C-alpha cells in the first residue's frame, strides 16, 4: 500500500480541487490547496503537486517548481486534446502527465505510480516525445539545454540508469528519449553524440 504523503492540488476551479482531494484522500493521502506552491514544497519536500496546465503561464509555473531542489514530484494535468502541452510539461520537469479529464481511478493510479518512481503519460505524449516532435525545432537544430545536460552527464561517465533516476524518467523511457535525440542530431550512439557535442561546442555554454 502506498505510504501517506502530502498532495497539493493547483487548479482554478474549487469543484475540481475538491473532487481530486476526495479521490486521493480515499487512498490515505493528505490533500491541500496551497496558495504558494513553492513555499508548500519547501515545507514538504516529499510532497506531490498536481498542476493543471491551461496556458503558457501555467507552464512557467511548472518550470519554476521543477527548478526547486530536491526536485519535486509534479503531475501535470493538461487537457486531453493537447498532447503538445503534455510534452512540454515532461520537458519542463513534470514526473508524469495525466489528462485533466481522466477518471478518478486513472488519477489515483498515476499518483501511486509516480510515488513509486514511474513516469506516467498518455500514449500521444509518449509518441511525441519519442519522435522528437511536439515543440522541438527542425531536425539538426541545436539541442535544448536539458539534452545538452544529458550528454554532459553521459560524457562524465553517468549510466543511463543514473540519468533516468536523476531526471525522473523510467530507464526504458530514458533510452527511448536518447535514441530519438540521437536520431534527430544525426548520430546513432552515445559516443558519437558526445563527440558531436564537443565538435559543436555545446558543452561550452
| pLDDT over 70 percentage in the chain | 92
pLDDT of 50: 97
Instruction: Render pLDDT for 2-56 as a digit per residue (tens, 0 to 9).
Output: 467 999 999 999 999 999 999 999 999 999 999 999 999 999 988 999 999 988 7
- Closest CA relative to residue 91, chosen from 167, 186, 10, 7: 167
119 close to 87: Cβ distance less than 8 angstroms: no
pLDDT digits (tens, 9 = 90+) for 90-109: 988 999 999 999 999 999 99
CA 127 – CA 132 distance, rounded (Å): 8
Domains recognised in the chain with CATH numbers: 6-125 (3.40.50.2300), 145-204 (1.10.10)
CA distances from 64 to 5, 41, 132 (A): 22, 12, 23
Amino acid at each position: 500500500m502506498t505510504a501517506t504523503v502530502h498532495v497539493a492540488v493547483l487548479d482554478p476551479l474549487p469543484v475540481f480541487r475538491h473532487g481530486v482531494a476526495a479521490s486521493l484522500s480515499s487512498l490515505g493521502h493528505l490533500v491541500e490547496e496551497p496558495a504558494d506552491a513553492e513555499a508548500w514544497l519547501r515545507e514538504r519536500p516529499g510532497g506531490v503537486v498536481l498542476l493543471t496546465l491551461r496556458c503558457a503561464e501555467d507552464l512557467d509555473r511548472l518550470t519554476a517548481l521543477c527548478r526547486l531542489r530536491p526536485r519535486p514530484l509534479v503531475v501535470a494535468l493538461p487537457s486531453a486534446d493537447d498532447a503538445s502541452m503534455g510534452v512540454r510539461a515532461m520537458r519542463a520537469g513534470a514526473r508524469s502527465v495525466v489528462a485533466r479529464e481522466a477518471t478518478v481511478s486513472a488519477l489515483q493510479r498515476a499518483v501511486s505510480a509516480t510515488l513509486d518512481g514511474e513516469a506516467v503519460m498518455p500514449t500521444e505524449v509518449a509518441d511525441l516525445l519519442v519522435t522528437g516532435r511536439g515543440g522541438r525545432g527542425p531536425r539538426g537544430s541545436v539541442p535544448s539545454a536539458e539534452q545538452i545536460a544529458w550528454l554532459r552527464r553521459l560524457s562524465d561517465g553517468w549510466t543511463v540508469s543514473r540519468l533516468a533516476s536523476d531526471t525522473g524518467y523510467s530507464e526504458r523511457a530514458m533510452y527511448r528519449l536518447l535514441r530519438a535525440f540521437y536520431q534527430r542530431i544525426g548520430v546513432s550512439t552515445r559516443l558519437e553524440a558526445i563527440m558531436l557535442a564537443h565538435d559543436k561546442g555545446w558543452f561550452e555554454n
